[in-house]
Structure formats: structure tokens, C-alpha cells
Structure 1
Amino acid sequence: MTPAPPPDLAQRLTDRVLGGWLGRIAGNMLGKPVERGDLWTRDRIDAYLRRTDALPLTDYLPEPPADIAPSLRPEWRECVRGRIHGSCRDDDVDYAVLGLDLLETHGFAFTTEQVGDLWLLRLPYLQTFTAERAAYRNLTNGLRPPLTATHANPYQEWIGALIRADIHGWTNPGEPRQAAALARRDAVLSHTGNGVYGAMWAAALIAAAFTAPSVRAALDQSLTVIPASSRLARTVRRVASLHDTGLSWEDTLTTVLTETAGLGWIHTVPNAAVLTAGLLHGDADFTRTIALTVRGGLDTDSNGATAGSVSGVLTGAAAIPPHWTGPLQDTVRSAVFGFDGVRISELAARTAGLARVPVPTP
């Protein structure tokens, strides 16, 4: 059992974990209205922002013009400026909640089978999508891992496992390998290949953000936990190398998304490219990071959520501008049974209380 950290260290750790929770929720809500990458391309998102005088993007999306509103996600009314009263429900947040419940219930020695059992107990089937829905269906038909990931599941390398990884980063601050190992054990319920690597990479990235001196250093650490020859690792390195040359954010995305064309807008690899570009060009500025990431398109709410989590850990909750956090009203809406209406601050305190390696924070 990890000994309790000194009070000042515990407070700083909780602030960083709270930053991760708040960042994940704010980034998710920023991207939610335009979450449909085949329709809401980067150019179309920017056209919306220009029409509403919202470039550069520094706040939640503005109220859409009447002719744009029908093409947005139905939840837009809960996610745009002036309409936000607590977080809206979304799977990108549900899985973070469910991951906390997993660790509180089974501890760090949880099994993949226990992840599946908890889904059946706590998560409504109709609130699962793509690979998670296929795995859920396989579970109800009596299949066990790893067959739950491979049987009748064409989404094995999509982004679902990546969005479940934050809890493992938050509870393993400064320990990316430990975080990645736990994320892998969770991910193989529903994913294979780059789908699993995406979860490992994201968990490691968030864990590294607690102690790394820069975003780039955290990214470099995150790449050590996945195969260097994997397409995911090669794509993340490609974005980083283009950033090193001084190429603009726009031209970087044009280059890399051309190179990953054909994988689809929910596949892990192109979304990791958008996320990496947003993190590097955002350079630890919370607002710039989530704004660039969402403007990058593809799975906007998932990418915004992960970018917000990484950036929130880097800065801590106290440094996140209040126009992002205030409208959330410290409240989470969740489909996870027993958690709807829970306080974000409570989730963060419970998460920090599980952290295995309390680390000094800057």
C-alpha cells in the first residue's frame, strides 16, 4: 500500500489530477458539437468559426447560425457558450468514471474479465459504440477475452480504448510504464494492434505529464511503451519531426492526414496525429492546446478530451482559465450507474487517493 503523501504534496497532486478531469471534460464538450469527422472537416470547422467571429478559438463553440445548427450533434445545445450548466453526458467521460470504479472495486490487480463484468453491471449497452459495443455483445453471448475483441469486431484499431486510458495515467503519476501496462489490460477486452497501442500511449503520456519538463518530453516518454515499428509510433514521430522543422500546424496536419488517408475518422492513428499536433503547437497553453486539437477535426470530442487531460495535468486545475471550468459547475452527467450528478472535485479526490506513486509537482 502506498503511504499517504505529506499534506502539501497531496494537495498539489490532487490539483494536477483535478486538472486532468476538468481538462478532459472541457475538451470533450468543446469538440462535441462537431463530432463527425467525415462531415466536420478542419476547413468546415474553421468556416463555422469565421462566420461567428470566433477565430482564434479561445472559448467553447459559439451559438451556431440557423443553417449550421442541423448539421451539429444534437447535444450542441448543452455544449456551446452560454448554454453550459454542468457537463453533458458522453462516453469519453463515462469511461473515465468507469475506470475509477474499476480501480476502487478491484484495485490495480484487476483482470480483463473484471473490466467486462463491470461494463455489464454499470454501463448501458446503448451507451457503447463501435469496438466497445461489439465487445459488449460478445460478452453477453458468453465469449471471454481475447475473443471479445476479435469476434465480429471490425473496429479493433479504432479510438475507443484510447479514450478509456486516462484513469491509468492519473493514478500512476510519473510512471508511464505502469500506466501503459494497466491500460493494455483494459484495452484488450475490445481492441487489438494499434487500438491497444493507442490506449498504452495515451496512459503513458498522461502519466509522464506529471513529471516531464515539457510536452515534448512527455511525448518522447510515451513512445517508449509501444513498439517503435507500429504505425501509431511512426505517425506520432512523424508529427514531432515536422514540428521540429518549424512546419506550421496547418501544413503538418495536411501532410500527415494525407499520409494516413483511408483509415477513417475514428481510427486511432490519424486521431493520434491530430492530438500530437495540437499538443506540440499548443505548447502547454491549455486554451491553445484544446482549441487547435478540436479544430484539427476527425473525432473532435475524443481528441479534445485527451488533449485537455494532458494539458490539465501539465498545468494543474488552478491554472486552467475559469471560463472553461466555471460553466461545468463541478458536476458530471454520466450513464454509469450510480455516478450521475457526481462532483468533478469528488472524482478527482478519489482518483488522487488511489495514486500509487505520489510525485513532487513543479
Structure 2
Amino acid sequence: MTPVGTDLADRVLGGWLGRIAGNMLGKPVERGDVWTRERIDRYLRQASALPLTDYLPEPATESDALDLRPEWRQCVRGRIHGSCRDDDVDYAVLGLDLLETHGFGFSTEQVGDQWLLRLPYLQTFTAERAAYRNLAGGLKPPLTATYDNPYQEWIGALIRADVYGWTSPGVPRRAASLARRDAVLSHTGNGVYGAMWAAALISAAFTAPTVRHALDTALTVIPASSRLARTVRRVISLHETRLSWEETLDAVSEETAGLGWIHTVPNAGVITAGLLYGDGDFTRTIALTVRGGLDTDSNGATAGSVAGVLTGAEAIPARWKDPLEDTVRSAVFGFDGVRISELAERTLRLAEAEAA
């Protein structure tokens, strides 16, 4: 059954807070070709910040400071005053606006129209930028995803999926269907499956007794033979054999070598490992996920969203919530400075209206 009432409100807010906190945690080291797992942990050791239980510490060396994302000064502990602007949060905001504007029967063409109306071109990247350019040139979906777009299986569609999970609590197939309709604007293959998987995973987290149950449910909405499904199952099986988190990621990294650090498949492996080894603990989940490397801010955001839904906002430690000051910075026109609590209330209204 779909949960209702105050518990649902707390879980939706938990999803928003988790996504934003996880994104902020991973943002300074969001360069997977530079910030490997080993280098992230070396950075943390130098600052006596292992185990990681808070936002990243300031860099201990000048070379580290130069290699961090330039936004690090607004994203490290002690310097955070509201969320940093980031596409991982912008797309959640944009998805909410899409559902409020067009309802759950939206078309892929309307997703494109919303981008052109609300999202600045220079705040899009990889597959989204290719699709945006194709839209501006007059192309229609699905050509917007395939024409001159070498990024079709990268992680962009996955990071757009959360709102479909939040507004379909306990209804993972509906969440996946909504995410697919959005994803095919810019992605194909595993890029689309990643969005469907993430939306179903977040939806399932509202009613699943454990994170493993949510992961098992999410696998049912994508082709079992897809590389994404095989990689997620591989992480689950390695976890079951009681391998360490490091050993599991070593194995998956070897098996997905060559796909690149922004491809959906290896990043889904990192997210899955963070969720399983985090075992329902919010802090441990986002810390392990970000320490896993690759697209750290996107992975931290998705794992944080799942963990936030599982625990609810009330149970997220204050050290993650308080620095956000209930404020979102966003490039989406009309939303900069909006309250996180307001976004959660609007999301809840959509979820309850659709369930009624």
C-alpha cells in the first residue's frame, strides 16, 4: 500500500534533504578521472576525517585545492550556507515544475519544452546539452537523443529521476514509466534504464523493509539482460559473499573498465555498493557512496535520496541538514532561493493527489 499521512511527508522531505546533502558532499571531488577512490581517502586521512561523518574538510594542501571543483569553498564543512547550485538538484526542481505544469500525463515533447523555457543552455552538460541543442534546432524526440550525441548512456537521465519516485511512493512501475518518458529525450539503452531503475528504487524505498528489498524491486523494471541489471546484481552477489566494500568496488571497477567515469553502469555499481554497505544508515550510506569515486556528486545525491526516504527527514543527523538552511540555489528560472521544505510540500501534494 502507498503510505499516507505524516510519515509520507517526512519521507518526501527526507528524499529532498538527502539528495541535496549527498550532492553537496560529493561536489568538491566531482572529477572521477582525478579523484579516484584512493585519492579521496588519502585526502580524508590527511585531514583526520576517516571515517567520514560530515561534509568534506577543507583541503590540506595547495595541490588538492587546485584539483577540487572550484565550488568547493561553498561545499566544505564550516563554509556551507544553503545548497550550492548544481544540475543534480536543478533537474529535481525542473521535474517538479514539469509535473505541476503538465500533470502525470506529460509527454516527452513537453519535457523538452520545459527545458527550453526554464533551464539555461550553459547549465546543461553532455547528453542534456546535446539534446537541448537538437531541440533548439527543431528536432523532435527520439531524434533529440540520438543525433550527434555520444553521451546517450551516461548518467544524466538517472539524475533526473528522483521526483518520479517521490511522487509515486510504493508504486515503482509507475515511477519507472514516468522516468522513461523523461529519459528518452536525451538517452538510449542503459542511460534510459538507469533513470527507470533510480525512480523505481526511490519509489520502493517508501515501503521496502530494507534497502536490499528496494534494490531487488528496482531490478524488476529494467531488462534482466541489460548491462546495468547485470552490474547491480553483481554488486548484490559480492555483498552477499561478505566481501569488503573495497573488494566489491575493486571487482566491479575491473569489470566495467573502459566505460568512463560518467557512464551510467559503473556509477550504478557505486550507488548500489554504498546503499548495501551503508545498510540503512544515512551518514554511512552517503559517505561510502562519495568515497566510491566516479561521478561523486550525482552518486551521493541519488544514494542520499534513497537513504533519506528510508529514514525520513527527522532521522537525518542535524550536521547534514542544518548547514543547508532550508534553501536551494537553482538555475531553474523562478526557483532560485526556494525553500527545501516548500519543494517537499509541493512534491507531497502531487503524490497525494495522484494516490487519491
| Alignment partner of 1:114 is 2:119 | no
Report if aligned partners of 1:29, 1:87 keep a CA contact under 8 Å in 2.
yes
Per-residue Cα deviation, 1:143-187 (whole angstroms, up to 9, x for no partner): 000000000000000000000000000000000000000000000
Report if aligned partners of 1:149, 1:190 keep a CA contact under 8 Å in 2.
yes
TM-score (norm 2): 0.98
Report if aligned partners of 1:293, 1:307 keep a CA contact under 8 Å in 2.
yes
- Mapped partners of 1:108, 1:63: distance in 2: 43
Secondary structure of the residue that 1:63 maps to in structure 2? coil
- Mapped partners of 1:318, 1:357: distance in 2: 24
Deviation (angstroms), 1:12: 1.5
Report if aligned partners of 1:13, 1:358 keep a CA contact under 8 Å in 2.
no
Report if aligned partners of 1:157, 1:192 keep a CA contact under 8 Å in 2.
yes
Tell me which residue corresponds to 1:27. 22
Deviation (angstroms), 1:137: 0.1
Aligned partner of 2:335 among 336, 339, 346: 339
Q: 1:357 to 1:208 in 2, by over 3 A?
A: farther
Gaps of 5+ in 1: none
Tell me which residue corresponds to 1:297. 293
- Mapped partners of 1:191, 1:69: distance in 2: 34
- Mapped partners of 2:92, 2:104: distance in 1: 15
Percent of aligned positions that are identical: 82
- Mapped partners of 2:301, 2:316: distance in 1: 14
Amino acid at match of 1:40: W
Per-residue Cα deviation, 1:174-201 (whole angstroms, up to 9, x for no partner): 0000000000000000000000000000
- Mapped partners of 2:123, 2:47: distance in 1: 32
Secondary structure of the residue that 1:152 maps to in structure 2? coil
Deviation (angstroms), 1:357: 7.9
| Alignment partner of 1:37 is 2:48 | no
Amino acid at match of 1:14: A
Amino acid at match of 1:321: P
Tell me which residue corresponds to 2:251. 255
Tell me which residue corresponds to 1:84. 80
Secondary structure of the residue that 1:355 maps to in structure 2? helix
Report if aligned partners of 1:174, 1:357 keep a CA contact under 8 Å in 2.
no
Secondary structure of the residue that 1:335 maps to in structure 2? coil
Tell me which residue corresponds to 2:121. 125
Gaps of 5+ in 2: none
Per-residue Cα deviation, 1:256-292 (whole angstroms, up to 9, x for no partner): 1100000000000000000000000000000000000
Tell me which residue corresponds to 1:191. 187
Aligned partner of 2:205 among 209, 212, 225: 209
Deviation (angstroms), 1:28: 0.1
- Mapped partners of 1:86, 1:176: distance in 2: 31
- Report the aligned-residue RMSD: 1.2
Matches within 5 A, 1:6-21: 9-21=4-16
| Alignment partner of 1:70 is 2:63 | no
Aligned partner of 1:169 among 151, 165, 169: 165
Per-residue Cα deviation, 1:43-72 (whole angstroms, up to 9, x for no partner): 000000000000000000001123211110
Deviation (angstroms), 1:11: 1.8
Per-residue Cα deviation, 1:292-341 (whole angstroms, up to 9, x for no partner): 00000000000000000000000000000000000000000000000000
Amino acid at match of 1:177: R
Deviation (angstroms), 1:10: 2.4
- Mapped partners of 2:215, 2:333: distance in 1: 34
- Mapped partners of 2:294, 2:353: distance in 1: 35
Secondary structure of the residue that 2:177 maps to in structure 1? helix
Per-residue Cα deviation, 1:195-237 (whole angstroms, up to 9, x for no partner): 0000000000000000000000000000000000000000000
Secondary structure of the residue that 2:196 maps to in structure 1? helix
Tell me which residue corresponds to 2:220. 224
| Alignment partner of 1:281 is 2:277 | yes
Report if aligned partners of 1:277, 1:293 keep a CA contact under 8 Å in 2.
yes
- Mapped partners of 1:66, 1:102: distance in 2: 43
Q: Runs (4+) of structure 1 moved beyond 6 Å? A: none
Tell me which residue corresponds to 1:48. 43
Secondary structure of the residue that 2:104 maps to in structure 1? helix
Report if aligned partners of 1:33, 1:74 keep a CA contact under 8 Å in 2.
yes
Secondary structure of the residue that 1:108 maps to in structure 2? coil
Deviation (angstroms), 1:355: 0.5
- Mapped partners of 2:201, 2:283: distance in 1: 19
Amino acid at match of 1:198: G
Aligned length: 353
- Mapped partners of 2:60, 2:84: distance in 1: 21
Deviation (angstroms), 1:358: 8.2
TM-score (norm 1): 0.96
